[in-house]
A and B are shown apart, each in its own frame.
Chain A
């Protein structure tokens, strides 16, 4: 019996090694490990054998069964591997074929930059607020120290609304800057105030590559005790580094806006020539980014904030200029002509 057993085992292993088809593997399994297989029948009949023989034959038969099962498992694994390898090879794609087009939407570049700007200031504790684009002369000019016939009105050619009130003195216009919101915010809130105001502004201006009759500004205002020009500088320089990169240099120079005193213009070193002077910066090495200053005491008084107690700073920047600088866009009109070939680049 043991000899037949050994022969059966070696025959089984020999056949197993030759099997390359999973179906044959099943046949093999039935033949050698199935219920009716000699081995299994032997194991079943063990009970009828004398004790000693049962021990020897039984032990060996169980060993062989285990070995066959292990062999079967390995073979099965090997065949599966081979099969996967074959199908992987068969199933390879031309990966250069174009992908399924899925329509992709994008935000307008100005929306993107506005968010970027606002996020920087929000991180510095400013709150975003918005205001009307159609304004009273009072908010746009008068309350900002720009009475009628003030020459500073020349700096902002105005689009007036055809509107008459019986009194005749409240004139309606399209705001020429976001600064009227300084007044509206201070009328409503008491210090501490820290707001930024993004929005559209309008000018009576013939359009060309650098001028638009509609564009965006972001206004900033902070009012509290002990706010200084140094704070303004710190805030804006930090902003410039966040927006234009930490290697950017920024500078303040004296400038004039009727509603601030002292007044400031901030510039960054030219992103093209790094300050050496080129066409973009008009040879100066600097690019003007925004106007700013300390809120004028008369403006504070007008909204019943005591300039002897409180100080504040304000700034306002044109928004379109920033992506123009960043992406080298040479015509501001591209933003509102909404050509998808342009918009899809951002």
Chain B
């Protein structure tokens, strides 16, 4: 909402410097987002009165213009076609800053001799002053403009661009803002004149109003003026509209817009002679009805839309936009002015359904007072009579089925201190509220007052609202800052946060960069992750912003792989990425299950290119090491089982089983998936389900005492068939109790061992809790181990 300071001054005295005023308004809830100052550059420009226009001695098309400037007179040369003795015009002295009428550049005015005649200034066009684009002639000011006065004092203005919150439609008006200023600076508001002379013709004999939908239209007022002359509005009116960002159209429409800006009440003017049956009917549209609105668009009405109709068809979409048929035109001689109140929800719905938002709908949908139509209508009628002439019909059509008495609120200053934490006396509260036009009455109790909000404050409904009124006017800066003194609630344990933090810190320490990716993605992206499997239908956004953000992710893999691909373009070293986030699994008739997952991808060299060790590429066992790091702290055995995951390489994938529960999966990315994401090199992937992990992570850990006797280390190498897995070998060895630890430190295939076999070099730590094991004991166990390995796997000791 743009508000002109000059316009505001009509209703309230501005007693504060402009910047401070803007600050006070902002602090009180009406944010001044921006201040535009017009005339700020009008130094050395004053109002002049043309006292003589003479021919230039050396040029036919130029004139010598003598201008009276209060204290003195100067003669300048001008070629303007509209020079008239007696006119008040802007006059720029040498040194003034102007906009060149032809080039549009900013120039500094210098003394000039034009065709032999000295010119010590210029009379200015609107364009030269930066007021408009008009450069056809000089700007003519109103006859009352005082000669000699700086133009900035007379015409300069400050435009406040206000951010009005949706609860304050009353401040979408100049008077509303003036009321705020008045309350903040303890002034009173001067309201405009609304009375006018009526003719003898009674309005009821000219038109009628019928409200079919009283819930949707609580009130409809109309006045009529006969014999108007439609013409462009006077300059002052046009300028005010322009300053507020509205385009002048003609004097009738401009007045309705002007009063809307002034009072915040949208109005509409109909060409009376085009209203069929002289009837205004406020009703729902009938199926199939079509209306061409003022913007020239043909709009199909649906039966839930409120329209203003005449005896035959809709003439306006109620509260949103008028129809072209009854538009004010140059032929219009009689007008019917509508000033009504409509249900905010209805207006909002219709406006949204039509995709049509107007200054009117923006105000109505915020909930205007049903008391507002009448004063606004009277004001508009008076202005039209002043500007467009004609005679007003006697009386006003006022159908008011939704009249409601304003209920006073019982308000106690105890509520102020209870909510604000600062004491405000009853008298101060009354004083503050009174400046805001609230009616305050003392009651029997010294703390309690009865408060009635002014009609335009539709946002006030309870005592908390009143507390805010008091707070914002006395200033939020008057409220002290205290720390909470109430008891701290007993915190509830949140093991899922602890788990997440733990996993995050392990991933980071394993060299993984955390990423956060969008929850929304495309079906295509989700499909790419698992090419051959059926996708459970993900949740779909009904109104997606783009096709790329249409579905809620059911896996973290897609975006993570896409992120890997993006970064492969720049990164030369290995890339390790992870994300901990939610996937959204649809559920019947309920919100989706939001399941937290960890997903990590890794690819490329194990380490950055370096003059030190030239290590190879990240492989399955690097990935497995990360997985082991992630889970080892659980203190449970981790099993890597055969997996069916279709996104992974069938020969290089594993389900992760802890205590019989599948908690995740890992492996090499399926080459098809890799191709679908245009990844270079081989990619490995880890996925954990935090929900499955949680019960394992929350088990209470038990301390095991430190061994009192040293372990004994023995290295052995065995030769075993390729078909035997390391896990099988390890399980056998570990089944013998004195074995505390088994470590594979070499795996060999080649000339030294028979075909189809492999050699495993193992370091075994033997340890007993009761004593240091003797050589004999260890030899005995080792023999048993080798026997079992031979029996079950055909393994032999490598000689």
Residues of chain B within 8 A (CB-CB) of A101 are 573, 607-608, 610, 612
**B91: A residues at CB distance < 8 A:** none
Q: Is the CB of A214 within 8 A of B492?
A: no
Residues of chain A in range 105-162 having any CB-CB distance to chain B below 8 Å: 105-108, 110-111, 124-125, 127-129, 132-136, 148-152, 154-155, 159-162
The answer to whether B567 touches A338, judged by C-beta atoms less than 8 angstroms apart, is: yes
Q: Give bound CA distance, A280 to B589, whole Å.
A: 46
> Distance (Å) between the CB of B352 and the closest chain A CB?
8
CA distance A186 to B508 in the complex (A): 36
A162 interface neighbour in B464, B542, B563, Cβ under 8 Å: B542
| Residues A233 and B489 in contact, CB atoms below 8 Å apart | no
A233/B482 in contact, CB under 8 A: yes
What distance in Å separates the Cβ of B470 from its nearest Cβ neighbour in chain A? 9
Contact B519 A133 (CB under 8 A): yes
Q: Does B518 contact A (CB under 8 A)?
A: yes
**Nearest CB in chain A: distance from B735 CB, A:** 37
Give the most central of B349, B504, B543: most A CB within 10 Å: B543
With A107-B504, A151-B348, A228-B420 known as contacts, the answer to whether A193 contacts B489 (CB < 8 A) is yes
| Interface-located stretch among B25-33, B653-661, B713-721 | B25-33
Query: Considering only CB atoms and an 8 Å cut-off, how many residues of chain B contact the other chain?
Result: 95
Which of A133, A227, A253 meets B476, CB within 8 Å? A253
| Cβ–Cβ contact A204 & B545, under 8 A | yes
Report chain B residues within 8 Å CB of A189. Answer: 489
Q: Which residues of A contact B366 (CB under 8 A)?
A: 151
User: Could you tell me the distance between the alpha carbons of A337 and B515 in the complex, rounded to whole angstroms?
Assistant: 9
- Chain B residue nearest in CB terms to A340: B567
- B487 contacts partner chain A, Cβ-Cβ < 8 Å: yes
A228→B482 contact, CB < 8 A = yes
Q: Are A343 and B542 in touch, CB under 8 angstroms?
A: no
B421 within 8 A of A: yes
Q: List residues 231-288 of chain A with CB under 8 A from any CB of chain B.
A: 231, 233-235, 237-238, 251-256, 258, 261-264, 282, 284
Residue of B nearest to A107 (CB): B514
Closest B residue to A225 by CB, please name it: B486
With A108-B514, A344-B513 known as contacts, the answer to whether A160 contacts B484 (CB < 8 A) is no
A-contact bits for B449-482, CB 8 A (1 contact / 0 none): 0000000000000111101100110001101111
A225 to B485 CA separation, bound complex (whole angstroms): 10
Residue of A172, A233, A258 contacting most chain B CB atoms (<10 Å): A233
Q: Do B540 and A161 have beta carbons less than 8 Å apart?
A: yes
> Distance (Å) between the CB of B179 and the closest chain A CB?
15
Inter-chain contacts of A256 with B (CB < 8 A)? 29, 165-168
A314-346 near B? 1/0 per residue, CB < 8 Å = 000000000000000000000111111101100
Q: Which of B488, B516, B520 contacts A194 (CB 8 A)?
A: B488
Which residues of chain B from 597 to 624 have a CB within 8 Å of any chain A CB?
A: 607-608, 610-613
Interface size of A by CB at 8 A reads 91
From A159, A224, A226, A235, residue with most partner B Cβ within 10 Å: A159
Residues of A within 8 A of B34 (CB): 282
Interface residue? B584 (CB, 8 A): yes
Asked if A174 lies at the interface with its beta carbon under 8 angstroms from chain B, I say: yes
Nearest B-chain residue to A100, judged by Cβ: B612
Q: Which of B477, B518, B610 contacts A336 (CB 8 A)?
A: B518
Task: Decide if A135 touches B591 in the complex (CB within 8 Å).
Answer: yes
B510 neighbours in A (Cβ, 8 Å): 103, 105
> What's the nearest-Cβ distance from chain B to residue A211, in Å?
11
Partner of B539, one of A124, A134, A149: A134
Q: How far is the CB of B591 from chain A (nearest CB, A)?
A: 5
Known: A162-B539, A231-B482. A338 touches B494 (CB 8 A): no
**Which residue of the partner chain B has the closest CB to A229?**
B420
Are the C-beta atoms of B488 and A340 separated by less than 8 Å?
no
Residues 100-152 (chain B) with a chain A CB within 8 angstroms: none
A295 to chain B, nearest CB (A): 9
Say if the beta carbon of B441 comes within 8 Å of chain A. Answer: no
In the complex, whether A1 has a CB less than 8 A from a CB of chain B is no
Residues of chain B contacted by A214 (CB below 8 angstroms): 518-520
Closest to A257 in B: B165
Contact of A296 among B464, B489, B584, B591 (CB under 8 A): B464
CB pair A262–B472 under 8 Å, yes or no, is yes
In the complex, the answer to whether A253 meets B27 with C-beta atoms within 8 Å is yes
Does the CB pair B419–A229 fall under 8 Å? yes
B480 nearest in chain A by CB position: A230
In the complex, which of the residues A104, A163, A194 contacts B484, with contact meaning CB atoms closer than 8 Å? A194
Interface residues in B641-656 (C-beta closer than 8 Å to A): none
CB of B375 within 8 Å of the partner chain? no
**Contact code string B744-785 (vs A, CB < 8 Å = 1, else 0):** 000000000000000000000000000000000000000000
Minimum CB–CB distance for B211 against chain A, Å: 21
Measured in the bound complex, the distance between the Cα atoms of B484 and A125 in whole Å is: 9
| Contact between B486 and A297, CB atoms less than 8 A apart | no
A100-B612, A192-B489, A252-B479 known; A106 vs B484 contact (CB < 8 Å): no
B517 at the A interface (CB under 8 A): yes
* Residue in A98, A108, A233, A341 whose beta carbon sits within 8 Å of that of B610 in the complex: A98
Given A127-B492, A339-B567, A224 and B541 touching (CB < 8 A)? no
Contact A149 B518 (CB under 8 A): no
Q: Tell me how far the C-beta of B183 lies from the nearest C-beta in chain A, rounded to whole angstroms.
A: 12
A155 engages B166 (CB within 8 Å): yes
Residues of B680-717 whose CB lies within 8 A of A: none
**Chain A residue, CB-CB nearest to B506:** A105
Cβ 8 A contact of B345, one of A148, A160, A252: A148
**Binary interface profile of B, 1-37, with partner A (CB < 8 Å = 1, else 0)?**
0000000000000000000000000111101011000
- Least CB distance from B461 to A in Å reads 9
Does B483 sit within 8 A of A, measured CB to CB? yes
- Taking a contact as CB atoms under 8 Å apart, the answer to whether B422 and A311 are in contact is no
Q: For the complex, is B594 an interface residue (Cβ under 8 Å from A)?
A: yes
A110-B516 in contact given A162-B541, A224-B486 (Cβ < 8 Å): yes
Question: Is A39 interfacial (CB-CB < 8 Å)?
Answer: no
Chain B residues lying within 8 Å of A263, measured Cβ to Cβ, are: 29, 468
Q: Which 10 A-B pairs have the closest CB atoms?
A: A103-B511, A230-B421, A228-B421, A254-B29, A262-B468, A256-B165, A125-B488, A105-B508, A149-B345, A151-B166
20 more A-B residue pairs beyond the given contacts A160-B541, A237-B481, with a C-beta to C-beta distance below 8 A: A101-B610, A103-B511, A105-B512, A125-B488, A133-B519, A133-B582, A161-B539, A213-B520, A214-B520, A228-B422, A230-B480, A255-B165, A256-B167, A262-B464, A263-B29, A282-B34, A294-B464, A336-B517, A340-B571, A343-B514
Provide a sorted-by-A list of 16 A–B residue pairs whose CB atoms are within 8 angstroms.
Answer: A101-B612, A111-B514, A129-B494, A133-B582, A134-B591, A149-B345, A162-B540, A213-B518, A229-B479, A231-B485, A234-B483, A263-B29, A297-B462, A297-B463, A337-B566, A340-B570
Binding site for A on B (CB under 8 A): 26-29, 31, 33-34, 165-168, 344-345, 348-349, 365-366, 417-422, 462-465, 467-468, 471-472, 476-477, 479-489, 491-492, 494, 497, 504, 507-520, 539-545, 549, 552, 563, 566-567, 570-571, 573-578, 582, 584, 589, 591-592, 594, 607-608, 610-613
